[in-house]
Structures are given as structure tokens and as C-alpha cells.
Amino acid sequence: MRKITLVCLACAFLFSTTAIAQNTTTSNGSAQGTSKTHPAKTKAVSLFGKVSDDGKTIVSAKHHNLFVSNPDALMGYAGHRIAVKGLLETATNTIRVTSVKKLADEVRYVANLSDSAFRR
């Protein structure tokens, strides 16, 4: 009976000390492990758009302006239509480009009225 009582007291002491250790505070009074600043929410995206002339922004196909956090990745693509994969930070509307692919320029069709397709 004494062994069971000692084991129960030892377990209670052990569990209480681990619970206290999880809720320690630093010298300035704030709890450890908690952050007052929330990390920015980022998500992986793939989008199409056109690079601005300075290469620091992308105008998406939905006409949203996105600021580029690493404009050196878009060097040489200024003024061109591109497909971009990257991490979008929604709070600041910035994108970190991970891959870039240049899209073909728009195809313009020219109609020739003397062509056989227009003859009846």
C-alpha cells in the first residue's frame, strides 16, 4: 500500500513540474513561445501577367498589381507577358518569384478578303 501511495505522489509531483515548466515567463514578463507579431500569410500561386517596364511589378490577367520582392528574377522580361510561379504574401500584395516562363506574344490574325475562305 505504501508503494502505491509513493508512486501516486511521485507522478503527481512529476506532472505538476512539467506543467509549470511549459508556462515559464522571461525576465521582461512576457511568456516564452508567444509572438505578438503574426507571421505573414503566404501561399503558392501560379499566375499569368505582364511585367512592368521597370520590372518591379506584375500586372496579372485579373488586373491586380503585384509588387515583386526579388525583381532580379524578372530581369530581361520587362514589358513581356509571362507565367509566374511564386509565393504570394496577401497582406502586402507582394510576390516572391520562384520560376518564370515567357509566353508567346499575342497572335494577330489578318484577314485577306481575296482569300478563298471569303469566296462563295
Q: pLDDT band at 72, cuts 50/70/90?
A: very high
Q: What is the mean pLDDT of the chain?
A: 81
* pLDDT for 111: 75
Whether 119 shows a pLDDT value over 60: the answer reads yes
What CATH code is carried by the domain that includes residue 75?
Answer: 2.40.50.500
Name the residue with higher pLDDT: 25 or 79: 79
Q: For the chain, what is the domain count?
A: 1
Residue 30: HSE in the Cβ half-sphere, 13 Å Cα cutoff: 6
Query: 26 lies in a domain?
Result: no
Does 11 reside within a domain?
no
98: containing domain = 42-102
Look at residue 10 and tell me if it is in a domain.
no
Confidence of residue 95 (pLDDT cuts 50, 70, 90): very high
Give the global pTM.
Answer: 0.54
* CA distances to 30, 105, 113 from 62, in Å: 44, 18, 35
